Amino acid sequence: MHFGSLRFKLTLWYVLILGILLISFSSFLYFTLSKSLHRDVDNKLRSLAELIASESSSPLSKFGFGNIDQALETSMNLKPIGKFIQVLDESGNIGRKSDNLKNVQLPISLNALKNASKGLITFETNRSLGNTPLRIITFPVIENNHVTKIVQIASSLEEVEDALNKLFLILIITVPLALMVAILGGQFLAHKALKPVDNITQTARMITSQNLNQRIIPPKVKDEISRLIETFNEMISRLDQSFRQIKQFSSDASHELKTPLTILKGEVEVTLRKQRTPQEYQQTLKSNLEEINRMSQIVGDLLILSKADTGEIRLNKEDINLTEILNEIVAQMDVLAQSKKLHLSTSNHHQDVHIFGDALRLRELFINLIENGIKYTEEGGSIHITLQKEYPPPVKNQSNWVEGERGEFVKIIVSDTGIGIAKEDQEKVFNRFFRVDKARSREQGGSGLGLSICKWIVEAHQGEIKVESELGKGSSFIVKLPLSSPLMMN
Are 239 and 385 within one domain?
no
| pLDDT tier, 252 (very low <50, low <70, confident <90, very high otherwise) | low
Structural domain total, the chain:
3
Are 27 and 153 within one domain?
yes
* CA 29 to mean position of chain CA atoms: 41
Domain interval for residue 134: 6-161
Are 409 and 482 within one domain?
yes
Strand ranges of the sheet holding 134-143, from the earlier edge strand across to the other edge: 94-97, 83-89, 146-156, 134-143, 122-126
Domain final residue, candidates 161, 177, 192: 161
Nearest to 47 by CA among 153, 159, 157, 161: 153
Q: What is the pLDDT of residues 327-354, one digit of tens each?
A: 999 988 888 888 888 999 988 766 788 8
Are 422 and 335 within one domain?
yes
Q: For residue 490, what pLDDT is reported?
A: 43
Whether 485 has a pLDDT exceeding 90, the answer reads no
Are 284 and 333 within one domain?
no
Q: Is residue 168 assigned to a domain?
A: no
Domain of residue 255, CATH code: 1.10.287.130
Rounded Cα distance between 109 and 240, Å, is 90
Average pLDDT over residues 239-259: 74
Of 146 and 2, more confident: 146
Q: Is residue 187 assigned to a domain?
A: no
Cβ–Cβ under 8 Å, residues 49 and 86: no
Of 318 and 432, more confident: 318
Average pLDDT over residues 261-286: 86
Domain of residue 52, CATH code: 3.30.450.20
Q: Is residue 346 assigned to a domain?
A: yes
Q: Is residue 202 assigned to a domain?
A: no
Helices (H) and strands (E) in the chain, counts: 12, 12
Are 388 and 263 within one domain?
no
Are 228 and 93 within one domain?
no
Residues 6+ apart with CB under 8 A from 458: 365, 464, 465, 479, 481
Q: What is the pLDDT of residues 66-91, one digit of tens each?
A: 456 555 655 555 555 667 888 887 76
Whether 31 has a pLDDT exceeding 90, the answer reads yes
Are 299 and 331 within one domain?
no
Q: Is residue 217 assigned to a domain?
A: no
Are 294 and 327 within one domain?
no
Rounded Cα distance between 195 and 81, Å, is 66
Q: Is residue 102 assigned to a domain?
A: yes
Q: Is residue 194 assigned to a domain?
A: no
Are 441 and 382 within one domain?
yes
Consecutive H or E run containing 468: strand 464-470
Rounded Cα distance between 286 and 295, Å, is 14
> Concatenated DSSP letters for 309-372?
HTT------EEEEHHHHHHHHHHHHHHHHHHTT-EEEEEES-S--EEEE-HHHHHHHHHHHHHH
Task: Name the 3-class secondary structure at 200.
Answer: helix
Q: What is the DSSP letter of 202?
A: H
Average pLDDT over residues 6-29: 89
Q: Is residue 214 assigned to a domain?
A: no
Rounded Cα distance between 189 and 146, Å, is 72
Are 114 and 20 within one domain?
yes
Domain final residue, candidates 257, 279, 307: 307
Domain final residue, candidates 273, 307, 341: 307
Residue 274 has, within 13 A of its CA and on its CB side, a CA count of 2
pTM of the model: 0.53
Q: For residue 189, what pLDDT is reported?
A: 83
Average pLDDT over residues 289-294: 83
